[in-house]
Chain A
Amino acid sequence: SAVISQKPSRDICQRGTSLTIQCQVDSQVTMMFWYRQQPGQSLTLIATANQGSEATYESGFVIDKFPISRPNLTFSTLTVSNMSPEDSSIYLCSVDFLKEETQYFGPGTRLLVL
């Protein structure tokens, strides 16, 4: 497994603004992912953060709304752009390792948009 941290842990933002969430892992990982978990719901994959290239987005999510960076094998950012109250959610990053089939999650970022 790995130690995964996220910043900020929580935030309250005004509509129309943007927030960048950071995910840091203490070891090099193969893949990094970004998920959203809306209140009372399960996790939905937003995108796979690819090191050195553009992220791969899932249906319903676009780069203009959720730009992602992954400059190296231990760090990624997710930006929630032009926020609306519907973006209020928990955003989680996860990682996996080449030799393992499963993923490990960061502690999440709780976002409330007013």
Chain B
Amino acid sequence: RKEVEQDPGPFNVPEGATVAFNCTYSNSASQSFFWYRQDCRKEPKLLMSVYSSGNEDGRFTAQLNRASQYISLLIRDSKLSDSATYLCVVGPISGGYNKLIFGAGTRLAVHP
């Protein structure tokens, strides 16, 4: 089993749609959780951290369920510029340093 698993995608949605991505992680000792965004041929960039209480940043809402080891990202009112690959990231797992484990990513394509 992969340490971080994501919806395979791709998700093709029209502008204005609401889309949700799911992610599960295998190690219950994981302490921190993130969503990164990676545009084509670019480096990953932090989109938002994910907290147990859930957090929202504009059109983006992230949720964490520690009991189920499940993370989600909801994007409302999709824009063309949201088209990218979304990476679910978990860490640290061990070692006392910030070792991040990346999911394979879910590709989102927003069309007019």
Contact = CB atoms under 8 A, between A and B. Distances in A.
Contact of B46 (A41, A48, A104): A104
Interface residues of B, number: 21
Given A42-B87, A42-B105, A103 B43 contact: no
A25 interface: no
A101 B49 contact: yes
Contacts of A103: 98, 100
A31 interface: yes
Contacts, number: 43
A45 interface: yes
A41 B85 CA distance: 11
A107 B100 contact: no
Given A42-B87, A92-B43, A102 B102 contact: no
Interface in B64-112: 87, 89, 91-92, 97-100, 102-105
B1 interface: no
B25 interface: no
A107 B42 CA distance: 6
B73 to A, nearest CB: 15
A33 B44 CA distance: 14
B43 A101 contact: no
A101 B98 contact: yes
Q: Which of A102, A106, A108 has the most CB of B within 10 A?
A: A102
Given A101-B32, A101-B49, A102-B32, A107 B98 contact: no
Interface of A: 31, 41-45, 48, 92, 96, 101-108
18 contacts: A31-B97, A42-B87, A42-B102, A42-B105, A45-B99, A45-B100, A92-B43, A101-B91, A101-B92, A101-B98, A102-B34, A102-B98, A103-B98, A103-B100, A105-B43, A107-B42, A107-B43, A108-B43
